Structure 1
Amino acid sequence: MGVRQWIVVILMILLNALDGFDVLSSAFASPGISKEWGIERSELGVMLSAELVGMGFGSVILGSAADKYGRKITMLICLVVMAIGMWMAHDAQSLWPLTTWRFITGLGIGGMLAATNAVVAETTSKASRSLAMALYVIGYPIGGVVGGFAAQSWLLVDYDWRAVFLFGAIVTAVMIPLVVLLVPETPAFYAARRPVDALAKINKSLRALQQAAIDALPEIRQEGPKPKVTDILSKPGLRKVTWLLAFGYMFHTLTFYYILKFAVQIVADSGFSQPEAASTLTYANIGGAVGGAIFGFALKKWDIKGPTIAMLFLGVVAVAWFGTGHDTLGQWRFAGFLTMFCLNAAIVGYYAAFARGFPAYARATGTGFVLGVGRAGAAGSPIIAGFLFDALGKSELLTVSLIMCFGSIMGAVLLWILPIRDADQDIMAAEKAA
């Protein structure tokens, strides 16, 4: 791993951090929105889920675009969509226009996640890939941490909830020229797509990454079926991996986003101010970053499956403890830290499985499809939690929390039966045998 490769990885971490802030911006703003417009938790839950629904569509639609047209151009399109969505959200005058713009922002975030995941996998060495992927994943909670500190100490103190979205729009726009100047298209994309002058384009990418050029590309066997991105749903082995990853991730996000989306509102309803409640989510994201980083180093020593299942069950315990309620702000902060420490570590495990389970020619498509299906759980999480609170009452925090824990339990079960193999190595072995 050269310096130039790590620069690309760092930029992907920053883009993931941007995604993390953009997603959580509505959670930071939710107490102010609820107070200004006088909306119930069920209505608030619909708004909070809007960008998650958009992320589902964006992951599938723009994820496949990254495999067809390129990782870099897809990331640039997503940044433009996100910047426009955040800018328009800050100017919304009622709930439904705000919900619409949050959905549009989610389209860009979903496509961004699929493309950046592929870039990290394809610009890193095999030995450093798990660590780089873990660092990439913890960018998401780091974005929440930075955004949380900005919200609680500045934006929500000196301004109102609209400033949170405006801040996100400005930072998103700043990232566009950085991607243009510093991120090359990946060699793996050109090797998989074989465009005109593929060798020259691959060597240009390799030079940008400060790697040695190659003299020729391996020949593509003409006999037999050619690989297609649709193989993730048509080839028996890949199909099984795709669906188990998709539904396992979907169930886990049901629990994961319950904390991310409702923690601020729960703490605010227990008697704390908006900046104080926002600080709980900041500490939760610190826990997510720390847990993800430690777990990433652990994956260099252990395999993916066992440690990830362990963190899923520890996350269930932590969410249940969060649901018991707490008296002091320090206790709420620690509860948030602990829940996301475990839950985001499990997310790192899933992302490592994405990078290993899909071959290069369909990596962004496979990742995008899994993320798209997964967003059903993410989008459903605040809606389900909102209706549970309305039906059972705000005092039934523990009951609601225990119900929402079901997602991570199912995620652990599906991961247990998942065969985790290196798809690229399997393809190379098959071609060598042929």
Structure 2
Amino acid sequence: MSQSTHIDVQDFLDKQKLSGLQILTLFLCFFIVAVDGFDTAAIGFIAPAIRAEWGLDAAHLAPVFGAGLFGLMAGSLIFGPLADRYGRKRILMLSVFFFGLMTLLSAWSTSVEMLIALRFLTGLGLGGAMPNAITMSSEYSPQRHRSVLVTTMFCGFTLGSAMGGIAAAHIVESFGWHWVLVMGGVLPIVLVPVLALIQPESPRYLALKGGADEQVRRLMQRIAPNEDLAGATFTVREKRAPGFPVKHLFAPELRFGTLSLWATVFMTLLVIYLLSSWLPTVINNTGMSLKNASLVTAMFQVGGTAGAIILGRLMDRYSPQRVLGITYLIGAAFTFMIGSTTGSTAMLVLAVFGAGFCVSGGQVGTNALAAAFYPTGSRATGVSWSLGIGRIGSILGSLAGGWMLVLGWSISTIFLAVSIPSLIAALCMAAMARKRKQAAPGLEQAIGVSS
């Protein structure tokens, strides 16, 4: 190959079959978000045991949950810009090690105040790991399969959350709640040296950073061992912008999309956390047993997992903003339907599954959209800040259900209100699709939507 050959990293990835290195990266990121999901959900599953051992009431436990959510928000806002400046792999390993260590330390909490502080610190690491796993997966994926690969990878979070419940069910009774946290801490800590040894840095980040042609060439050779890459230099379409990465999210060509993504994630996380937190209670208040109410609520997560995979495939074939806009619109209808179907278990299960498919599955799709929308130099910041701002919605959602119940709203009124954020998310995606259509022909490539 000629010494003057220049190769665009994404163009090269798009022309190759999915390689073992790319599959390995997706698997490791899947495992990262799985242990992330395990540690995020574990505290909810062991809360009754903590409450009984320490003689607490619900008011004492509420700050424990809130501290974790605030930590997730802060971690997303902090670690994304650091990943754009210092590299995805380095910050990913730091985040995973940090939330593992804090979870492990939480197992030896001796007071609720200590547990609150450690849950906040755990949240910091969790908030940093998730968006960086999304970014790494996106930057190793060919464009034609990017959405479905990222959304499938993110299903690890749901699996990890479910494993947290299974582990709690088997461990708490025999060994105590502390050992669930020990398990949740050891798994990510053990994962860190594995990441250090076998997970390479993102080739797009290395090409943008510059001065790493040989490192990128070795990565590309692993992806396409039959290609002659001797003497090649590797580039990305955009240039590395100076200054703080958050500022770049508001460049003229990105500003509208940034605000649309923030509003969408805010609204969807509000709905997801409200339904996850309060749906069993609301359904139980209609006369259904708590056991059956919990099983019905589980269909929300089942629907979300199915939705993530199917919507990812649709987003790769059609306009992702239009796919998500239609999905959120249908999600609003299913959410409203929950309030009018409590008399029929079958219809209620369908409504809850549909709401999970559209709203929770759509949220995973929005993460993939954010990773595709931003250029390499601000991709980790863009993904992490959309999740960080969205976490404000998750905090409000976890509180809003209680407020509506205290105010004595009827079940139909509650779910009419809960459907409104999904409608707003649908409008945001429709507006983003319209803006994209009006963009100049070369603008999408410049900002990374097609790269």
Same fold per superposition (TM over 0.5)? yes
CA displacement at 1:369 relative to structure 2: 1.5
Match of 1:202 among 198, 210, 216: 216
Instruction: Tell me which residue corresponds to 1:232.
Output: 248
Partner of 2:245, secondary structure, is coil
Distance across 2 between alignment mates of 1:239 and 1:177 = 38
CA displacement at 1:266 relative to structure 2: 5.9
Instruction: Tell me which residue corresponds to 1:317.
Output: 333
Partner of 1:417, secondary structure, is helix
8 A Cα contact 2:213 2:234, kept in partner: yes
Structure 1, 255-264 or 124-133: larger mean CA deviation:
255-264
Distance across 1 between alignment mates of 2:358 and 2:374 = 25
Instruction: Tell me which residue corresponds to 2:143.
Output: 126
**What per-residue deviation string (whole Å, max 9, x for no partner) do you get for residues 233-266 of structure 1?**
4411212211111122111110011123345666
Compute the RMSD of aligned alpha carbons.
3.5
CA displacement at 1:334 relative to structure 2: 6.4
Instruction: Tell me which residue corresponds to 1:414.
Output: 428
Aligned ranges 1:223-302 → 2 under 5 Å: 229-263=245-279, 282-302=298-318
Distance across 2 between alignment mates of 1:156 and 1:424 = 58
The percent of aligned pairs where both chains have the same amino acid is 23
Partner of 1:127, secondary structure, is helix
8 A Cα contact 2:371 2:380, kept in partner: no
Q: Which amino acid aligns with 2:184?
A: G
Instruction: Tell me which residue corresponds to 2:419.
Output: 405
CA displacement at 1:61 relative to structure 2: 0.9
Instruction: Tell me which residue corresponds to 2:98.
Output: 81
Match of 1:2 among 19, 22, 28: 19
Q: Which amino acid aligns with 2:90?
A: I
1:366 equivalent to 2:376? Answer no
Q: Which amino acid aligns with 1:75?
A: L
Distance across 2 between alignment mates of 1:243 and 1:358 = 13
Distance across 2 between alignment mates of 1:118 and 1:291 = 20
CA displacement at 1:45 relative to structure 2: 4.2
Q: Which amino acid aligns with 1:368?
A: S
Q: How many residues align?
A: 422
Partner of 1:300, secondary structure, is helix
Match of 1:39 among 52, 57, 62: 57
8 A Cα contact 1:149 1:279, kept in partner: no
**What per-residue deviation string (whole Å, max 9, x for no partner) do you get for residues 263-312 of structure 1?**
566678878678x8765665432322122112222223222122212322
8 A Cα contact 1:156 1:163, kept in partner: yes
Instruction: Tell me which residue corresponds to 1:146.
Output: 163
How has the CA–CA distance of structure 1 residues 185 and 305 changed in structure 2, closer, same or farther, with 3 Å as cutoff? same
Distance across 2 between alignment mates of 1:112 and 1:90 = 21
Instruction: Tell me which residue corresponds to 2:407.
Output: 392
**What per-residue deviation string (whole Å, max 9, x for no partner) do you get for residues 297-329 of structure 1?**
222322212221232233333334445685899
1:305 equivalent to 2:321? Answer yes
What's the TM-score, normalizing by structure 2? 0.81
CA displacement at 1:44 relative to structure 2: 4.3
**What per-residue deviation string (whole Å, max 9, x for no partner) do you get for residues 76-106 of structure 1?**
1111111122223333344332222221111
8 A Cα contact 1:31 1:265, kept in partner: no
**What per-residue deviation string (whole Å, max 9, x for no partner) do you get for residues 314-358 of structure 1?**
333333444568589999876654432222221133123212210
How has the CA–CA distance of structure 1 residues 232 and 273 changed in structure 2, closer, same or farther, with 3 Å as cutoff? same
What's the TM-score, normalizing by structure 1? 0.84
Match of 2:41 among 24, 41, 50: 24
Q: Which amino acid aligns with 1:39?
A: D
Gap regions ≥5 residues in structure 2: 1-17
Gap regions ≥5 residues in structure 1: none
8 A Cα contact 1:86 1:166, kept in partner: yes
CA displacement at 1:401 relative to structure 2: 4.2
How has the CA–CA distance of structure 1 residues 217 and 208 changed in structure 2, closer, same or farther, with 3 Å as cutoff? closer
Partner of 1:259, secondary structure, is helix
